[in-house]
Amino acid sequence: MKKLFYILFIFLFSCSQKSDSQRNEIAEPSNSAEINAVVTPVKPIQTRAEEPLYDTWTFDKVDGTKLVFKEGPIFDTELVNLEYIGQIDIDQEAPFFIYSGRNCDECDANTAIYFHSPRHGQLNVGNGENRYGYPGRERDYQSDSLLYQARAFYGEALKGVKGIVWYQKTLMEDNSFQNSVFIARIDGESIKGEEVKGYDRHLQETLSLNMSGKNREIKGRDYTSEP
């Protein structure tokens, strides 16, 4: 009887060990999966700041007072009747934009040219500040007599000089027209305006650069003087 009891005890003990072993084998895959989930590398997110700055200023459209660019940037000019003309790149930062508009709605102000880079923040356009004359022909709003005419070019305006240049003919008090050359040039990261002598010589230089594709002429328009 004792022998039978001893055999039964060994059999039950063996089954118990086998059951524990099976439970351990079933649990192993779960533990392994948890370990794998922890060590799986996460791909870093690439931020927009890693993109080259010069890729972010491709002009797309005008939206009210704003210039909208294809890659996302938006520049609010705070001007009405806004038109984009072009831009001048000097480095990988924001370009210098040439655009036109008026600083007031339902007023007698003429459309003017503006020359500015967003790298310098917002441009003050109130009270006629920071505006340049539009090329073309300006006539007196009462007599229709010619007061001013000009051609303007932007890009490499003069040899080795980037900016906008105006070739102007202005009516004087003796009814003669005086020629002058005015350039708004990019100097480092700022814009400096000055008159330069040599109308005919500089005009030929600018036209030669224009033929080489180094600058573009801003299409002129006819308009009347402000009351």
- Domain ranges for the chain: 47-131, 135-227
Q: Is residue 195 within 8 Å of residue 111, measured between CB atoms?
A: no
CA distance 99 to 83: 6
The set of residues, in sequence order, having a beta carbon less than 8 Å from that of 130 and lying 6+ positions away, is 114, 116, 123, 124
pLDDT digits (tens, 9 = 90+) for 137-194: 999 999 999 999 999 999 999 999 999 999 999 999 999 999 999 999 999 999 999 9
- Give residue 22's pLDDT: 45
3-state helix, strand, coil split of the chain in percent (to 5) is 30, 40, 35
Q: How far is CA 220 from CA 24, 51, 213, in A?
A: 87, 37, 19
What's the pTM? 0.75
pLDDT digits (tens, 9 = 90+) for 15-66: 444 444 444 443 344 443 332 333 333 333 222 333 344 457 899 999 999 9
Sign of CA dihedral 162, 163, 167, 172: negative
Pairing, β 221-224 against β 136-139: parallel
Query: Token match 């932007």: residue?
Result: 154
Structure tokens of 72? 């996302």
φ, ψ of residue 94 in degrees (nearest 5): -60, 140
Q: How far is CA 63 from CA 48, 101, 133, 165, in A?
A: 23, 13, 23, 28
Query: Token match 């922890």: residue?
Result: 38
pLDDT band at 221 (very low <50, low <70, confident <90, very high): very high
- Give residue 5's pLDDT: 44
CA distance 1 to 138: 129
CA distance 103 to 71: 27
